[in-house]
Structure 1
Amino acid sequence: MKTYLIGYDLNKSGQDYKDLIDAIKNLSPTWWHHLDSTWIIKSDSTASAICDALAVHIDGNDELLVVKLSGEGAWIGFNDKGSKWLKDNL
Protein backbone atom coordinates (compact mmCIF):
# COMPACT_ATOMS: atom_id res chain seq x y z
CA MET A 1 0.00 0.00 0.00
CA LYS A 2 1.09 3.55 -0.68
CA THR A 3 0.93 6.35 1.86
CA TYR A 4 -0.79 9.64 1.02
CA LEU A 5 -1.01 12.99 2.73
CA ILE A 6 -4.35 14.80 2.42
CA GLY A 7 -4.60 18.48 3.30
CA TYR A 8 -7.52 20.82 2.84
CA ASP A 9 -8.87 24.29 3.57
CA LEU A 10 -12.61 24.85 3.51
CA ASN A 11 -12.65 28.60 2.85
CA LYS A 12 -16.31 29.50 3.35
CA SER A 13 -17.18 30.21 6.98
CA GLY A 14 -19.58 27.80 8.58
CA GLN A 15 -18.74 24.86 6.32
CA ASP A 16 -19.28 21.39 7.72
CA TYR A 17 -16.24 19.13 7.64
CA LYS A 18 -18.24 16.01 8.58
CA ASP A 19 -18.94 14.76 5.03
CA LEU A 20 -15.32 15.29 3.98
CA ILE A 21 -13.96 13.64 7.13
CA ASP A 22 -16.29 10.66 6.73
CA ALA A 23 -15.19 10.33 3.08
CA ILE A 24 -11.51 10.34 4.11
CA LYS A 25 -12.12 7.69 6.76
CA ASN A 26 -14.03 5.57 4.24
CA LEU A 27 -11.06 5.59 1.83
CA SER A 28 -8.96 3.46 4.16
CA PRO A 29 -9.16 1.80 7.57
CA THR A 30 -5.56 2.95 8.09
CA TRP A 31 -5.46 6.70 8.70
CA TRP A 32 -3.72 9.27 10.88
CA HIS A 33 -5.19 12.63 11.93
CA HIS A 34 -3.33 14.70 14.50
CA LEU A 35 -3.36 18.08 12.72
CA ASP A 36 -6.53 20.07 12.05
CA SER A 37 -6.76 19.81 8.26
CA THR A 38 -4.15 17.14 7.58
CA TRP A 39 -4.62 13.40 7.22
CA ILE A 40 -2.36 10.54 6.20
CA ILE A 41 -3.90 7.39 4.77
CA LYS A 42 -2.73 4.06 3.37
CA SER A 43 -4.27 3.14 0.01
CA ASP A 44 -3.71 1.17 -3.17
CA SER A 45 -5.38 3.99 -5.09
CA THR A 46 -3.73 6.90 -6.92
CA ALA A 47 -3.49 10.49 -5.71
CA SER A 48 -5.80 11.56 -8.55
CA ALA A 49 -8.42 8.95 -7.68
CA ILE A 50 -8.33 9.95 -4.00
CA CYS A 51 -8.63 13.62 -4.94
CA ASP A 52 -11.58 12.89 -7.23
CA ALA A 53 -13.33 10.89 -4.50
CA LEU A 54 -12.98 13.76 -2.04
CA ALA A 55 -13.68 16.62 -4.45
CA VAL A 56 -17.43 15.99 -4.32
CA HIS A 57 -17.35 16.90 -0.62
CA ILE A 58 -15.88 20.40 -1.01
CA ASP A 59 -17.01 23.67 -2.60
CA GLY A 60 -15.44 25.37 -5.59
CA ASN A 61 -13.65 27.90 -3.38
CA ASP A 62 -12.00 25.23 -1.19
CA GLU A 63 -8.51 23.79 -1.54
CA LEU A 64 -7.56 20.12 -1.50
CA LEU A 65 -4.12 18.52 -1.71
CA VAL A 66 -3.33 14.80 -2.08
CA VAL A 67 0.30 13.73 -2.39
CA LYS A 68 2.07 10.38 -2.21
CA LEU A 69 4.63 10.30 0.58
CA SER A 70 8.20 9.07 0.12
CA GLY A 71 8.57 7.35 3.47
CA GLU A 72 10.94 9.90 4.98
CA GLY A 73 9.62 12.24 7.65
CA ALA A 74 10.42 14.22 10.76
CA TRP A 75 8.10 15.53 13.45
CA ILE A 76 7.89 16.83 16.99
CA GLY A 77 5.14 17.37 19.50
CA PHE A 78 2.93 14.37 18.79
CA ASN A 79 1.89 11.92 21.49
CA ASP A 80 3.35 8.41 21.57
CA LYS A 81 0.40 6.91 19.67
CA GLY A 82 0.67 9.47 16.85
CA SER A 83 4.43 9.07 16.58
CA LYS A 84 4.20 5.28 16.56
CA TRP A 85 1.65 5.39 13.73
CA LEU A 86 3.94 7.59 11.68
CA LYS A 87 6.97 5.36 12.30
CA ASP A 88 4.98 2.26 11.38
CA ASN A 89 3.28 3.65 8.30
CA LEU A 90 5.55 6.13 6.51
Structure 2
Amino acid sequence: MANNLHVSYDLNSPGQNYEKVIGAIKTLGDWGKIHKSYFYVTSNYTSSQAADIVWAAMDSSDTVYVVDATNNTAHWYNVDTEVTSFIKERWA
Protein backbone atom coordinates (compact mmCIF):
# COMPACT_ATOMS: atom_id res chain seq x y z
CA MET A 1 0.00 0.00 0.00
CA ALA A 2 1.35 3.41 -0.92
CA ASN A 3 1.93 6.07 1.70
CA ASN A 4 0.83 9.70 1.36
CA LEU A 5 3.97 11.68 2.11
CA HIS A 6 4.30 15.43 2.53
CA VAL A 7 7.91 16.58 2.13
CA SER A 8 9.02 20.06 3.15
CA TYR A 9 12.59 21.34 3.08
CA ASP A 10 14.72 24.46 3.44
CA LEU A 11 18.16 24.90 1.91
CA ASN A 12 19.84 27.39 4.22
CA SER A 13 23.26 28.10 2.67
CA PRO A 14 23.91 30.19 -0.44
CA GLY A 15 24.56 28.28 -3.65
CA GLN A 16 22.58 25.19 -2.69
CA ASN A 17 21.83 22.50 -5.27
CA TYR A 18 18.03 22.56 -5.43
CA GLU A 19 17.97 20.14 -8.35
CA LYS A 20 19.80 17.48 -6.33
CA VAL A 21 17.26 17.72 -3.50
CA ILE A 22 14.28 17.84 -5.85
CA GLY A 23 15.72 14.86 -7.72
CA ALA A 24 15.91 12.90 -4.46
CA ILE A 25 12.28 13.75 -3.69
CA LYS A 26 11.21 12.63 -7.17
CA THR A 27 12.83 9.21 -6.61
CA LEU A 28 10.39 8.55 -3.75
CA GLY A 29 7.42 7.96 -6.05
CA ASP A 30 4.74 9.84 -7.96
CA TRP A 31 4.88 13.45 -6.87
CA GLY A 32 3.22 16.84 -7.09
CA LYS A 33 4.94 20.13 -6.30
CA ILE A 34 2.70 22.18 -4.00
CA HIS A 35 5.09 25.07 -3.23
CA LYS A 36 8.73 25.85 -4.01
CA SER A 37 9.98 23.52 -1.29
CA TYR A 38 6.89 21.44 -0.47
CA PHE A 39 5.90 18.24 -2.28
CA TYR A 40 3.18 15.61 -2.04
CA VAL A 41 4.48 12.11 -2.89
CA THR A 42 2.69 8.78 -3.05
CA SER A 43 5.38 6.31 -2.06
CA ASN A 44 6.19 2.87 -0.72
CA TYR A 45 8.75 4.51 1.59
CA THR A 46 8.04 5.35 5.23
CA SER A 47 8.50 8.89 6.50
CA SER A 48 11.82 7.84 8.05
CA GLN A 49 13.10 6.21 4.87
CA ALA A 50 12.00 9.17 2.75
CA ALA A 51 13.65 11.67 5.10
CA ASP A 52 16.89 9.66 4.96
CA ILE A 53 16.86 9.70 1.15
CA VAL A 54 16.22 13.44 0.90
CA TRP A 55 18.65 14.28 3.71
CA ALA A 56 21.44 12.47 1.84
CA ALA A 57 21.12 15.13 -0.89
CA MET A 58 21.33 18.03 1.56
CA ASP A 59 23.94 19.93 3.59
CA SER A 60 24.14 19.83 7.39
CA SER A 61 22.71 23.37 7.64
CA ASP A 62 19.51 22.40 5.79
CA THR A 63 16.22 21.07 7.16
CA VAL A 64 13.78 18.43 5.98
CA TYR A 65 10.40 17.44 7.45
CA VAL A 66 8.45 14.45 6.11
CA VAL A 67 4.92 13.53 7.21
CA ASP A 68 3.29 10.22 6.30
CA ALA A 69 -0.41 11.10 6.33
CA THR A 70 -1.37 7.46 5.77
CA ASN A 71 0.30 6.12 8.92
CA ASN A 72 0.32 9.34 11.01
CA THR A 73 4.11 9.43 11.36
CA ALA A 74 6.76 12.06 10.77
CA HIS A 75 10.52 12.23 10.54
CA TRP A 76 12.83 15.20 10.25
CA TYR A 77 16.41 16.37 10.22
CA ASN A 78 17.81 19.58 11.66
CA VAL A 79 14.47 21.05 12.77
CA ASP A 80 14.79 23.33 15.81
CA THR A 81 14.54 21.33 19.06
CA GLU A 82 11.90 23.68 20.48
CA VAL A 83 9.72 23.00 17.46
CA THR A 84 10.30 19.24 17.55
CA SER A 85 9.38 19.17 21.24
CA PHE A 86 6.22 21.12 20.44
CA ILE A 87 5.31 18.61 17.72
CA LYS A 88 6.05 15.55 19.88
CA GLU A 89 3.96 16.89 22.78
CA ARG A 90 0.93 17.46 20.56
CA TRP A 91 1.12 14.70 17.95
CA ALA A 92 -2.01 12.57 18.08
Query: Structure 1 vs Structure 2: percent identity of aligned residues?
Result: 32
User: Which is richer in strand?
Assistant: 2
Which structure has the bigger radius of gyration? 1
Which residue does the alignment assign to 1:47? Answer: 47
Please give the per-residue CA displacement for 1:22-76, whole angstroms capped at 9, x wherever unaligned: 1111111x11103110001001211000111111111111010000125xxxxxx
User: Is 1:37 equivalent to 2:44 in the alignment?
Assistant: no
- Choose between structure 1 and 2 for higher RCO, CA contacts under 8 A separated by at least 6 residues: 1
2:30 pairs with 1:26 = no
Q: CA deviation at 1:13?
A: 1.2
Aligned residue for 1:13, secondary structure, equals coil
Note the residue ranges of structure 2 that are not aligned, 5 or more in a row. Answer: 71-92
Q: Quote the RMSD (CA, aligned, Å).
A: 1.1
TM-score normalised by structure 2 residue count: 0.70
Q: Are 2:20 and 1:6 aligned? A: no
Structure-1 separation of matches of 2:45 and 2:17: 26
Judge conservation of contact 2:34–2:40 (CA < 8 Å) in 1. Answer: no
The count of corresponding residues between Structure 1 and Structure 2 is 69
- TM value normalised by structure 1: 0.72
Tell me what 2:16 maps to: 15
Unaligned runs of 5+ in 1: 71-90
